[in-house]
Amino acid sequence: MAEKKYVYAFEEAHGLGKELLGGKGAGLAEMTSIGVPVPEGFTITTEACTLYYESGKAIPEFVQKQIFDAIKGIEKKTGKAFGGDKKPLLVSVRSGARVSMPGMMDTILNLGLNDVTCAALARETNNERFALDSYRRFILMFTNIAKGHPRDAMDKMLDELKEKNGYKLDTEVTTEQLRDLVARYKEYYKKTFGEDFPSDPKVQLMEAVAAVFRSWDNPRANIYRMQYSIPYSWGTAVNVQSMAFGNKGETSGTGVAFSRNAATGEKAISAEYLPNAQGEDVVAGIRTPLHIDELKRRMPYVYAQFEKTIKTMELHYRDMQDMEFTVEEGKLYFLQTRSGKRTPAAALKMACDMVDEGLITEDEAVLRIDPVSFDKLLLPNFDKDELAAAKNRLIAKGNPAGPGAGTGKIAFTAEEAEKRNAAGEKVVLVRAETSPEDLAGMIACQGILTMRGGMTSHAAVVARGMGKCCITGCAAALIDEEKRTLTIDGKVYTDQDVLSLDGSTGSVYVGDIKKVAPDLSSGNFGRLMAWVDERRDLKVRANADTPRDAHQAKVFGAQGIGLCRTEHMFFDKDKIFSFRKMILAETKEERVAALAEIEPLQQKDFEGLFEEMGELSVNVRLLDPPLHEFLPQEEDKIAELAKATGHTVEFINKRIADLHEFNPMMGHRGCRLDVSYPEIAVMQTNAIIKAALAVSKRKGIKIEPEIMIPLTLELRELKFVKAIVTETADKLIKEAGVNMKYHVGTMIEIPRAALLSDELAKEAEFFSFGTNDLTQLTFGFSRDDASKFLPDYYKNKILEEDPFKTLDQAGVGQLIKFSVKNGRATRPNLHIGVCGETGGEPNSIQFYHDAGLDYVSCSPFRVPVARLAAAQAAIRSPRKK
């Protein structure tokens, strides 16, 4: 029986796909296939990673054998020898997941070095300093990454050495000093682990591969996956590649290149180059790289090849590429390429440009925009005039690494940023440089400012991925972490000072600057949204309770209101008193009288909505929460209410006690209130219909209000409440002598309703899935309480996503599909939407598209995102027309 293949040389891997090879591995295979100069190497598949975990964190013997065979392959092609005392083969070991997870996964370079190979390398390159420096770096990385030991102590050895000798740069360290350092590193290793540093390259290799596999499960990787909804089950591949050395002297160097500008989208290579260095120096932000012109200046012939290869790759991949390259003694190697992360603004510009260039289709352009960060385009930018006026407050400049505007007080650590943000404070994160450990703080802040690092440093790459404003390499910013101060031009700023960061220009201002909303209808944004709207099947509505929200929704392109929650209206100062009287009423007559006071006010609310929305649909949900939510809790408020209503305090306390519920989420709420107190539904219907009649007459337009009955679970219940609504509405319409239509439907938010959708569709003209409650009941999760145990569920990988944010397709989704199918079986033209929180989440929207819904409804701000996601869904899986 042929053994399963877990290891592929780059030249035999082309076409096997990212799932198996990871993004980096697939890229290397593809680059090899189109003739890009790539160092020889092979990929260990993601299946090997899964196998590693299934084997109890061990690499099975037969996989090890395949790996060593592949090493032999490299030896053959390069004529080098792994562990050899002549022409020693050194390799890099890199992680490579299906999608790029920058900074999350660990890499080991120069693997294969030991005393023998180091000497050989020194001999053969005639550069002992380089050999020793590589050896030193390797021991450090191996200790830190493969063995999981902190690097501080070893870093300190180098720092102290430099300080003692007055060196500024690593390159100033002498060969002798490096030899000594290698010895001290090895000594430290032995002291720490109780064994010699492994000199066998095969042992080194297996430990490194296992370390990459383990790094898939480190806390930072888990945070990143959570943030970006990447399944744990994917695993990572490992790429082993013969080393290319950027640190072999002045004709060597390393760099990172984007085929277009990742921050702005501009069509121009954007690259950085650092002579005589390894790539890690750049990514870690330890040294600030130079502009690519440096390469052009030093080695124009290399630059020409560089430029040509990049163009080839962009044409081949039909997308902006993010590449790492190394020049080893005048020979150019590309180490990896991938579709580059970009700011939302850059993504938009590139997509439009590439359509114009004929590189991609409009469909592809729409698919190129990441809906998750798309709403960043909707964020305000600094007002241009205010920005000009703030010129005198400009205190520093850095690299414009992530566009956007961010204002906040200074936070000096990620933890601090996280805490102060949680406490409601807006902060900007100010760091010498960022590292993967800072991720949570980067998510929590308004913007990032670093002293070190270029356009491709950790901070820059991560911030752009998040669509977060970021300025890197701001050398003027002197940070003292201990004293918690930032000093610029001698002036000292503390954690109480406010900075405004303009990520588009790299300008740092002191104090706040006014921001303005972006223009959404013209330019590339308008162009993209036109393509989007042409393509999508799902309509997009907004959840809006006030004319202000409704207006915002229209600005963002909402095609109606999918959910108006009337309960918010009752908390108005002018209504809450009457509403409380209604709750305290002891007879139906008292209740009706109190409701009569509210009706004209509520009618006014609805008139505002209808005025704003014109002929667009407005879906009003009848009162939903339990009545006790409307009564005061504090003693003084109760006393006040008693006085105002003429009830005794005892009476009100008794009523509050009567209304107490053990599980209010599953209590006397929704249409259950209308079953007990039909007069509430009568009042609300009166207000809705009267408002629609008035506005329709006033503006001479056609309004067809939708009235939605919440929390239904049974046909007879729906019939009962619907009868109240239609009786009330029909009478008003008849009295008005006009021909106004209206629609009565129901929320589907209780599992039983989903299960009995065939029945409910007999009476309901429309369904709207309330995924918040449907998720609560399908999971048996109280949303208010789940935060206590959900962290344990994430930690133990039982759940990977918050089901209240992203629809749980396996469970809740099954109910939704069932409901759509059975509802439409009864009533083929049943109008179906969703108004829960997941209605604005891109993955969920794909599901709703596939499930055949008519619309999604989300918060106004999410409307453009939902439009884009709906178009992408339609492109990915066209509906049968």
Applying CB under 8 A, which residues contact a copy of itself?
Answer: 661-668, 672, 675-676, 711, 713-714, 716-717, 720, 749-752, 755-756, 759, 773, 776-782, 784-786, 788-789, 792-793, 796-799, 808, 810-812, 814-815
Q: Which long-range contacts (CB under 8 A, 24 or more apart) does 517-522 make?
A: 517/378, 517/380, 518/377, 518/378, 518/379, 518/380, 518/381, 520/378, 520/555, 520/556, 520/557, 520/864
DSSP 79-142: --BTT-SSSB--EEEEEEESS--TTTS-EEEEET--HHHHHHHHHHHT-HHHHHHHHHHHHHHI
Distance of CA 555 to the CA centre of its chain: 24
Q: How many C-beta atoms surround the C-beta of residue 283 within 10 A?
A: 21
Reference 621, options 692, 548, 571, 568; nearest CA is: 568
CB of 747 to a copy of itself, least distance (A): 11
CB of 850 to a copy of itself, least distance (A): 18
Query: Of 458, 628, 647, 849, which is the active-site residue?
Result: 458
Query: Of 118, 445, 474, 835, which is the active-site residue?
Result: 835
With beta carbons less than 8 A apart as the criterion, state whether 374 and 236 touch: no
Let me know how many helices (H) and strands (E) the chain has, helices first: 37, 31
H or E element, residue 239: strand 236-242
Closer residue to a copy of itself (CB): 301 or 662? 662
DSSP 31-64: HHHTT-----EEEE-HHHHHHHHHTTS---HHHH
Q: How far is it, in rounded angstroms, from Cα 588 to Cα 585?
A: 7
Closer residue to a copy of itself (CB): 617 or 822? 822
Reference 673, options 706, 730, 712, 632; nearest CA is: 712
Q: How far is it, in rounded angstroms, from Cα 651 to Cα 406?
A: 53
Q: Using alpha carbons only, give the angle 637, 638, 642 rounded to the nearest 5 degrees.
A: 120
H or E element, residue 754: helix 751-755
Closer residue to a copy of itself (CB): 155 or 784? 784
Please confirm, yes or no, whether 835 is among the known catalytic residues. Answer: yes
Closer residue to a copy of itself (CB): 779 or 861? 779
20 to 27, 96, 236, 315: CA distances (angstroms): 12, 10, 9, 24
Give the type of residue at 343: T
Q: How far is it, in rounded angstroms, from Cα 437 to Cα 418?
A: 12
With beta carbons less than 8 A apart as the criterion, state whether 839 and 866 touch: yes
Label each residue of 445-460 as H, E or C.
CCCEEECCCCCCCHHH
171 to 278, 289, 680: CA distances (angstroms): 12, 15, 80
CB of 787 to a copy of itself, least distance (A): 10
105 to 209, 286, 535: CA distances (angstroms): 12, 18, 38
Closer residue to a copy of itself (CB): 59 or 754? 754
What pairing do the DSSP bridges indicate for beta strands 766-769 and 831-834?
Answer: parallel
**DSSP 8-state symbol, 630:** G
Q: Using alpha carbons only, give the angle 391, 513, 475 rounded to the nearest 5 degrees.
A: 60
Query: Per the structure block, which two tokens stand in for 377?
Result: 């385009």
Closer residue to a copy of itself (CB): 171 or 814? 814
Is residue 332 classed as helix, strand or coil in its secondary structure?
Answer: strand
Give the type of residue at 638: I
CB of 5 to a copy of itself, least distance (A): 28
CB of 596 to a copy of itself, least distance (A): 22
Is residue 767 classed as helix, strand or coil in its secondary structure?
Answer: strand
With beta carbons less than 8 A apart as the criterion, state whether 528 and 369 touch: yes
Closer residue to a copy of itself (CB): 1 or 798? 798
640 to 568, 573, 647, 653, 657: CA distances (angstroms): 22, 14, 10, 12, 18
CB of 717 to a copy of itself, least distance (A): 5
CB of 823 to a copy of itself, least distance (A): 15
Q: How far is it, in rounded angstroms, from Cα 108 to Cα 809?
A: 39
CB of 796 to a copy of itself, least distance (A): 6
Q: How far is it, in rounded angstroms, from Cα 8 to Cα 335?
A: 17
CB of 716 to a copy of itself, least distance (A): 5
Closer residue to a copy of itself (CB): 443 or 799? 799
Please confirm, yes or no, whether 352 is among the known catalytic residues. Answer: no
CB of 649 to a copy of itself, least distance (A): 23
CB of 309 to a copy of itself, least distance (A): 45
CB of 757 to a copy of itself, least distance (A): 11
Give the catalytic positions in this structure. Answer: 458, 835
